[in-house]
Amino acid sequence: MADQADRADIAAVEDWFVANGLPYFVDGIREDVGRRMRPSRLLAVLVVGVVLAVPVGLAVGLWADQVSYGVSSALTTLAGVFGLYGLLTLKAWLWIRWAAGQTLGSLSLMVPLVTRALPLLLLFITFLFINAEVWQVGATLDGGIMWAAVMLFAAIAVGFLLSRLPEELDAFDRDFDITRLSSACRGTPLETEANRLRETHTQLPVPPEVTGLQKANLVLVLLVAQIVQVLLLSLSVFAFFILFGVVAMDDAVIETWVGHSPETFLGPVSRELVQVSVFLAAFSGLYFAVYAVTDELYRKQFFTSITRELERAVSARVVYRSMRRG
């Protein structure tokens, strides 16, 4: 009976981990994901992606009569195959769903950052928007090249975030002790066990250090939360420039800058306006990603709430590992 109760408690804890975007904290899921991330598996996914990407790229390139469309379509297809594999097989949708929900639920925390970063950014970007050279460059970026440029900005932003976000987790290991277990696990299925451990132990029963896939899970949660904010800001900048362009940019001025009459995209919105707005919005997203993790005030305001949740998860992991060890 006691064993059944222990198994029920462990199952409840594992369900809590999954519901809170931490599937890799569950031993069974982590072991399964580890097997699916073996080089042989990833190589097979790469082969499937290439097999699908090559004909798609050729078909789109021939149909559009543009090499850039074909290359961008092939790269997008390859990225889509890996993304689908990650979402379905590696359980990525579980932590993406939680992180996105946490971010959307705390949009008010963006206000201080937006009021600090956006005015200077808009001043600089608006100057570029009314610059003839930017319109000349933007007008020459057809769909394929534009999409490749956006992906390049996105890749740089993600790479920078991945290099800085692990720093937000460093304090977990340094400041962790057994006296924090009870408060951290309050309101979770582990509260009773955490109280018992605090009463019967003077030191942590298992090391708090989070490594491997478990640390990757924490970093990826932070990454998704940051990406959602960057995406929202980029969309806001894009909408601003579309509106500003429709109101302030005369077709005669655009024609003078780009050397030909603007092509209609949708109503009063020209293709050139869309391309310039997309380019500047992507650049703004890159700027925002860098600013967000280097501005100390924003890091305290935004990361305090989400890292508190992650700190609770690390505490829960200590108790969970102790329960698994018996």
Tell me, rounded to whole angstroms, the distance of Cα 177 from its chain centroid. Answer: 30
Q: Which amino acid is at 174?
A: R
Average pLDDT, the chain: 79
pLDDT at residue 187 is higher than 60: yes
Neighbours of 244 (CB within 10 A): 16
- Comparing 262-266, 289-293, 304-308, 312-316, which segment has the lowest mean pLDDT? 304-308
Model pLDDT, residue 47: 92
pLDDT at residue 105 is higher than 70: no
Model pLDDT, residue 121: 76
pLDDT at residue 278 is higher than 60: yes
Q: Per-residue pLDDT averaged across 101-125, rounded?
A: 69
% of the chain at pLDDT higher than 90: 2
Task: Categorise residue 65: left if φ over 0, alpha if ψ from -120 to 50, beta otherwise.
Answer: left
pLDDT in tens, 15-36: 888 888 888 888 888 888 888 8
Q: Per-residue pLDDT averaged across 194-208, rounded?
A: 71
pLDDT at residue 7 is higher than 80: no
pLDDT in tens, 237-261: 898 889 988 888 888 888 888 887 8
Global pTM reads 0.78
Model pLDDT, residue 103: 67
DSSP letter string, 223-292: HHHHHHHHHHHHHHHHHHHHHHHHHH--HHHHHHHHSSPPPEEETTEEHHHHHHHHHHHHHHHHHHHHHH
pLDDT at residue 268 is higher than 70: yes
- Comparing 167-176, 220-229, 258-267, which segment has the lowest mean pLDDT? 167-176
Whole-angstrom distance, CA of residue 13 vs CA of residue 309: 15
pLDDT at residue 177 is higher than 80: no
pLDDT in tens, 298-326: 666 666 667 777 777 777 887 777 777 76
Tell me, rounded to whole angstroms, the distance of Cα 183 from its chain centroid. Answer: 29
Query: Please, what is the end-to-end C-alpha distance for the chain in angstroms?
Result: 15
pLDDT at residue 1 is higher than 50: no
Listed by start position, the domains of the chain span: 93-325
Q: Per-residue pLDDT averaged across 197-225, rounded?
A: 77
Q: Per-residue pLDDT averaged across 161-176, rounded?
A: 73
pLDDT in tens, 48-102: 999 998 898 888 888 877 777 788 788 888 888 988 888 888 777 777 777 777 6
Q: Is 233 exposed, middle or buried (0-12, 13-18, 19+ CB in 10 A)?
A: buried
Confidence band of 2 (pLDDT split at 50, 70, 90): very low
